[in-house]
């Protein structure tokens, strides 16, 4: 199967609060990974493809959450657990939070590159 993602995914363990666009009730989740266009999170709710969510992603380096509007592009039950992995694509974000979202993504990318550099044999 051909990979369809345009950007690599980086691991990210962060608290998330999401709600359906027409609901005031927020639900808790935990992110699994992030890319430049979206992210994956784990929750106890099955969400239908196309569902639009209002999401707050809590970055541990900032007290203020990153707020985005995103669409569910896939949702799968986690084998052997009572939870679901959900992939979302960011639809809308204000300019300040967009910068913070991309900074978070790029910092995870830099961390990954640092890990690769540490594994390279050193030339003498």
List, in order of start, the domains of the chain with CATH numbers. 10-119 (2.40.10.220)
Which 8-state DSSP code applies to residue 22? Answer: T
* 11-65: pLDDT as tens digits: 888 899 999 978 889 999 999 998 888 999 999 999 999 999 999 999 777 788 9
What tokens appear for 31 in the block?
């992110």
Confidence of residue 122 (pLDDT cuts 50, 70, 90): low
| Separation in Å, CA 78 to CA 26, 39, 49, 82 | 22, 16, 16, 7
| pTM, entire model | 0.80
């Amino acid at each position: 199967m051909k990979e369809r993602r345009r950007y690599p995914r980086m691991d990210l363990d962060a608290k998330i609060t999401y709600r359906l666009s027409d609901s005031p009730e927020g639900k808790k989740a935990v992110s699994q990974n992030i890319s430049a266009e979206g992210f994956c999170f784990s929750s106890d709710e099955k969400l239908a493809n196309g569902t639009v969510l209002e999401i707050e992603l809590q970055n541990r380096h900032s007290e203020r959450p990153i707020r985005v509007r995103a669409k569910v592009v896939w949702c799968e039950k986690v084998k052997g657990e009572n939870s679901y992995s959900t992939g979302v694509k960011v639809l809308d974000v204000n300019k300040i939070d967009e910068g913070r979202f991309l900074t978070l993504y790029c910092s995870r990318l830099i961390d990954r590159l640092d890990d690769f550099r540490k594994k390279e044999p050193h030339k003498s």
